[in-house]
């Protein structure tokens, strides 16, 4: 698996990938935003897009917009999350956060195992 920052030539593959997860449009601070308009880290295996994480760096915080991996428990999601954490640290962010629904038990478990704390409306980790 190779992790790379998204480049313009990756947009078509990323669009198809996010569409498959119904994640082209995501809610951010009460507004629907196009995930493709934000930076991303991509996971490639044998020329195939196998995972993606989109994010927003905003002042001293970083919001994880989307995180998807084709194969669960393969390490792809963890690697993508670690890459976004590094980007956030390098940007001087003090907090990495995300929003998910309270019925997404697998996501809640995934993030909690990686140091995120649940809040009323967000899950967050200190960078």
Across the range 42-57, mean pLDDT stands at: 97
Q: Token pair of 78, please?
A: 């963890």
Determine contact, residues 68/42, Cβ cutoff 8 Å: no
User: HSE-up of 119 (CA within 13 Å, CB side)?
Assistant: 11
Q: Taking the model in full, what pTM does it have?
A: 0.89
Structural fold of domain 2-126: Aminopeptidase (3.40.630)
- Measured in whole angstroms, the distance separating CA 55 from the mean position of its chain's CA atoms is 6
Instruction: Give 56-107 pLDDT, tens digit per residue.
Output: 999 889 999 999 999 888 899 999 999 999 999 999 999 999 988 888 899 9
**φ, ψ dihedrals at 26, nearest 5°:** -130, 150
d(CA 87, CA 57): 9
Q: Is the pLDDT of residue 13 over 90?
A: yes
Distance between CA atoms of 33 and 75, rounded to whole angstroms?
Answer: 28
């Amino acid at each position: 698996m190779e992790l790379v920052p998204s480049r313009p030539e990756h947009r078509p593959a990323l669009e198809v990938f996010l569409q498959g997860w119904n994640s082209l449009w995501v809610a951010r601070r009460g507004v629907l935003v196009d995930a493709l308009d934000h930076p991303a880290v991509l996971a490639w295996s044998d020329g195939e897009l196998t995972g993606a994480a989109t994010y927003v760096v905003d002042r001293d915080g970083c919001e994880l917009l989307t995180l998807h991996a084709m194969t669960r428990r393969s390490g792809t999601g963890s690697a993508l999350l670690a890459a976004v954490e590094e980007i956030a640290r390098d940007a001087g962010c003090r907090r990495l956060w995300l929003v998910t629904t309270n019925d997404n038990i697998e996501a809640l478990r995934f993030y909690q195992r990686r140091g995120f704390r649940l809040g009323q409306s967000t899950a967050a980790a200190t960078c």
